[in-house]
Each structure stands twice: as structure tokens, then as C-alpha cells.
Amino acid sequence: MAVYTDITEGALRGFLEAYDIGRLTAYKGIAEGVENSNFLLHTTEGPFILTLYEKRVNPDDLPFFLGLMEHLAARGISCPLPLTRRDGTLLGELAGRPAAIITFLEGIWLRQPEAPHCAALGRALAGLHRAGEGFALKRANALSVEGWRPLWEKARERADEIAEGLRAGIDAELAFLERSWPKGLPSGVIHADLFPDNVFFIGDALTGIIDFYFACNDTLAYDVATCLNAWCFDDKSGVYDAAKGQAFLAAYQAERPLTPDEVAALPLLARGSALRFFLTRAYDWLSMPPGALVVKKDPLEYWRKLRFHQTIETAEGYGLTG
Ligand SMILES: Nc1ncnc2c1ncn2[C@@H]1O[C@H](COP(=O)(O)OP(=O)(O)OP(=O)(O)O)[C@@H](O)[C@H]1O
Ligand SMILES: N[C@@H](CCO)C(=O)O
């Protein structure tokens, strides 16, 4: 679940006075998500999402995230729109946390996406990359290659508590990626956390993308690699699913063809992205107090994916041809 900060009805009603969204009729905490505290609000104007920004969000980054949603929505991307307060700002404070209200998107996220959903994702990701062009604010990716070692240092000593041999395995992988990380690939605004739980569908139609709180400026193909990891492995067997990968990559390329350099870099980017999610999961795994009301995500899932990518030499290994 993710309600780290609870709110009282009185404080919420006070907070809502800054908005023009009708009268509150009901609200409840949302169990899903691991980063921020989210509440579903019902007012006489309809449903809305209230987010209280927690530990991993730097308040200085909020204008980037909220401004990006406005920029993308204005360019036809179906994503939440932050609501403007009566004083013209997008951000307030509730229970001591920065807080914003965003529009509610219809749809559900898919526990087991299939190849047609991966194709819809590919189209949407390319559309997002295009729509991000021209967004004026900039934000570096704090969880790219320079950010991995500091994170690893916090988990390294105890890594073998997660699985024996991890410390040596990650030491070697991190050193390799630091030496070989590709530079100079096409860059722009990336989502950076486009997992199935951040993409809504109604039937087979993709209806929206949420959770822009890791978005940043980075290598566009890094987002492609993150989606290969998060969408194109079989949940049960843990094996790479080439049909899903092909569907995703072909649909992405139909909207935004990858350059030869991006194609060549894909195995490295996939290793790096797998390491990034391994590291945040390992850190959370080791630092979460016992009994915390959060479903921990398995770091080993991403270690297994990383080891798969270590065996891939060219993007043909993902089923990409031509
Ligand atoms: N705009 C929205 N419309 C409808 N539901 C939403 C919206 N934003 C968030 N939700 C609901 O809240 C849940 C958590 O939201 P979100 O993924 O933004 O949280 P998070 O804590 O930042 O999560 P994550 O762990 O994915 O980083 C979503 O799975 C969804 O159920
Ligand atoms: N999508 C992330 C969690 C949210 O940042 C993960 O699965 O590790």
C-alpha cells in the first residue's frame, strides 16, 4: 500500500478550499504504489487524485513533474492534468507534505499484458517522446549511471542477505556499466518508470499514462529498455518473451525509428535499466522497517533480468531485425 502520511478530514477540507472542485463527498487512501501517498477524492464535481509527495521526491523537482503533465496533456497525451488552485499555483501543502490534485484517468492497469498491449505501449511511448519535445524545464536523471554507485554503497554491505553472491555480481556489473555506458544517443524527456502499473487500459485500448515522478531528460532509448524489462518478460517463468518484445519495438519504431546507434546500445541500456531497478528495490528491501505497510518489490527479479541481458550481444537477441 502507499499511504505513508495520513490526513484528517478537517485538514483535507481546509486544503480543498484552495480549489474550485465542488464539495467533498468521500475520500480514501489508495493501496497501490510505493513512492507517494495517494488518495481518491470524490467531490460533487467528480473523482480526483490527491498526491502527497514523499521521501524520494525532491520538492524542487515538482514544477518539472507538474509542468510536464500540463505540457503533455496539451499535446494530446492522455495523462493526468494537475489542477490549478484559486491562487494560480499547482502545489499546496497538506499534513506537512507538498501536495497536488490531479485529474482522474479511467481504466485499469494490466497484471499480465500480452503482445497487443505491448504494441499499444510502444506507440504510446514514441508519442510521449515526441510530445516531450519543446518542454522548457530540464531535470537530470538522478538514477542514471552516476547515481548507481552511491545507491549501491548504501546496500552493498548487506546485499548477500538478499542472495548469496550478489555483492560480487553487482560490483562487477556496476564497474562494467560505468566503463561502457553509451553517450551521445538521442535524448529528450523520458518517463523513466513506465511499468504496467503506470499505464491504464480499457479492454485492449491504452487509455492513459500516470506517475511522472521519475521523468527527466535522458537517453530516449533508455525508456525503451525499461519497457522491455518491465513488459516483455513472462511473469511466471521469468523468461524474455520475444513476441512481446517484437510487438513493442515494432510499434515504437513505426512512430519513432531507433537510430543504428540506439539499436546497438539496446543490450547495454537494458542492463543499466535492470541495474537501476535492482538497486532501488534492494535498497528498499534492506531499509524498510519490519511491519511497514508497503508491498516490497523483489530485487531478484531484476537481477535475473540483468543476467539475461548479459547474454545478449546485439538487439537481434530481443527479436529486433532489419
Ligand atoms: N490520475 C489517476 N487516475 C486514476 N488513478 C490514479 C491516478 N493516479 C494514480 N492513480 C491510482 O493510484 C495508484 C498509485 O499511483 P502512482 O503510481 O502515481 O503512485 P506512486 O506511489 O508514485 O507509485 P509507483 O510505485 O508506481 O511509483 C495507481 O496505481 C492508481 O490506482
Ligand atoms: N516501478 C518501480 C517502483 C516504483 O518506482 C519498481 O517496480 O521497482
Q: Based on the domain organization, do 148 and 226 belong to the same domain?
A: yes
43/139 same-domain check: no
Same structural domain, 157 and 282:
yes
Higher-pLDDT residue of 246 and 33 is: 246
Give 137's pLDDT tier (boundaries 50, 70, 90).
very high
169 with 71, same domain? no
Q: Which cell is 266 given?
A: 539496446
Q: For residue 197, which atom of ligand 2 is closest to its CA?
A: 1
In a domain? residue 194: yes
Nearest bound ligand to the CA of residue 195: 2
CATH number at residue 24: 3.30.200.20
Mean pLDDT of the chain: 95
**Mean pLDDT along residues 284-300:** 79
What pLDDT, on a 0 to 100 scale, did the predictor assign at position 1? 44
Whether 109 is covered by a domain: the verdict is no
Q: Which residues line ligand 1 at a C-beta cut-off of 6 Å?
A: 2, 30, 32-36, 38, 49, 80, 102, 104-105, 193, 197-198, 210-211, 213
**Ligand 2 mutation pick, 1, 4, 32, 34, max ligand atoms within 8 A of CB:** 34
Residue 122 belongs to some domain of the structure: yes
Q: Tell me which residues have their CB closer than 6 angstroms to ligand 2.
A: 34-35, 193, 195, 277, 280-281, 297
d(CA 38, CA 29): 6
Ligand 1 centroid to Cα of residue 198, in Å, is 7
- Residue 10's pLDDT is 96
* Domain-ending residue, one of 103, 126, 148: 103
Which tens digits make up the pLDDT trace of 114-134? Answer: 999 999 999 999 999 999 999
Give the residue numbers spanning the domain of 32: 9-103
Does the pLDDT at position 12 exceed 60?
yes
Does the pLDDT value for residue 266 go beyond 80? Answer: yes
Looking at all shown ligands, the one closest to residue 32's CA atom is: 1
Percentage above 70 pLDDT, the chain: 97
Residue 80 in any domain: the answer is yes
Q: Which is the closest atom of ligand 1 to the Cα of 37?
A: 21
Average pLDDT over residues 265-269: 98
Which residues fall within 8 angstroms of residue 36, CB to CB, at 6 or more apart? 2, 4, 51, 52, 53, 54, 57, 213
* The pLDDT of residue 288 is above 50: yes
Closest residue (by CA) to atom 20 of ligand 1?
A: 33
Same domain as 189, residue 56: no
Contact 215, 65 (CB under 8 A): yes
Please indicate, yes or no, if residue 161 is contained in any of the structural domains. Answer: yes
The answer to the question of residue 4 being in a domain is no
Residues 50, 184, single domain; the answer is: no
Choosing from 103, 127, 147, the residue where a domain stops is 103
Ligand nearest to the CA of 33: 1
pLDDT one-digit tens code per residue, 17-55? 999 999 999 999 998 877 899 999 999 999 999 999 998
Assess whether 130 and 226 both reside in one domain: yes
178 and 50, same structural domain? Answer: no
Q: Is residue 36 one of the residues assigned to a domain?
A: yes
| Domain shared by 188 and 307, yes or no | yes
Q: How far apart are the CA of 196 and the centre of ligand 2, in A?
A: 10
Which pLDDT tens digit goes with each residue over 84-115? 999 999 999 999 999 999 999 999 999 999 99
Amino acid at 55: K
- Do both 203 and 270 map to the same domain? yes
Structural domain count, the chain = 2
Instruction: Answer yes or no: is 3 within a domain.
Output: no
Residue 293 pLDDT more than 70?
no
Same-domain pairing of 222 and 262: yes
Give the integer Cα–Cα distance in Å for 199 and 111.
11
Distances (CA, A) of 99 to 50, 57, 304: 7, 11, 36
128 in the same domain as 96: no
Task: Find where cell 501536495 sits.
Answer: 99
Asked whether residue 205 carries a pLDDT value surpassing 70, the answer given is yes
Q: How far is the CA of 172 from the centre of ligand 1 (A)?
A: 35
Q: What is the pLDDT of residue 236?
A: 84
Q: Is 315 exposed, middle or buried (0-12, 13-18, 19+ CB in 10 A)?
A: buried
CATH number, position 208 = 3.90.1200.10
Instruction: Determine which residue's CA is closest to atom 30 belonging to ligand 1.
Output: 32
Contact 110/196 with Cβ under 8 angstroms?
yes
32 CA to middle of ligand 1, Å? Answer: 7
Residue 44 backbone dihedrals phi, psi, to 5 degrees: -65, -10
Instruction: State the SS3 of the chain.
Output: CCCCCCCCHHHHHHHHCCCCCCCEEEEEECCCCCCCEEEEEEECCEEEEEEECCCCCCHHHHHHHHHHHHHHHHCCCCCCCECCCCCCCCCEEECCEEEEEEECCCCECCCCCCHHHHHHHHHHHHHHHHHCCCCCCCCECCCCHHHHHHHHHHHHHHHHHCCCCHHHHHHHHHHHHHHHCCCCCCEEEECCCCCHHHEEEECCEEEEECCCCCCEEEEHHHHHHHHHHHHCECCCCCCECHHHHHHHHHHHHHHCCCCHHHHHHHHHHHHHHHHHHHHHHHHHHHHCCCCCCCCCCCHHHHHHHHHHHHCCCCHHHHCCCC
